[in-house]
Structure 1
Amino acid sequence: MLNLRQIHHIAIIGADYQASKHFYCDILGFTLLGEFYREERDSWKADLALQGQYTIELFSFPHPPTRPSHPEACGLRHLAFSVENIDQSVSALTEAGIICEPVRTDPHTGKKFTFFNDPDGLPLELYEA
């Protein structure tokens, strides 16, 4: 047994680093802990926190290949964020120009959820806790 303790971080590569940084920090509310340019790779790396918890490493690379990103595609399905009020959260995203799918109800938990995408089409979910 490995005795995994928790998820340490999630790494995301953005095609447009500035647009991705704006999306995750200014729209979703992540805090920029640090930002580093790695000249040997012509790459930016930003460390982002959510509620003080280091969560996302945001990268840029020159000409990254696209990846199919649909909630039902093989591989990582989506990244989900817990929110207290899904209707308020959807309204905030809509005001920022982010399109959300219609809010649905999880038949097993009775909780509301919806999907939306980051600037590169990465499927993200809001789940009302």
Structure 2
Amino acid sequence: MFNKPALTDEDLASTILSDLKRVTREYATAATESVCPEIRQMFTQLLDSTLKMQGELYTVMQQNNMYNASSPALKQELDKQLKQYQQSQQQTNQFVQQAKASQGQIPPAAMGNNSVPAYQ
């Protein structure tokens, strides 16, 4: 018959890493779209454990020269992106609070300060 070449450890690890990355996206989407709190919690726990596995596999691959990380990002660029995300989060929080207030779910006086903490 015909002999197929076996996958190398690097190819196998890369395939598993790609699958873990895909699964994390799917779990994140499922958790985000879940209406039931128990189902949301289950997907969040699955996401956390999958992220842990992905991180462990990445570390092993990097230690064995199976994965080349991208070049480091400039701190200035990261700070700029973080500021944009914080502004977007603040705008989203304000929108949600205003929508709740207009629906009578919370009194406007209880809205308070909608500032978003800076993450370091």
TM-score by length of 1: 0.21
Tell me which protein shows more helix as a share of its residues. 2
Q: Which protein shows a greater Rg? A: 2
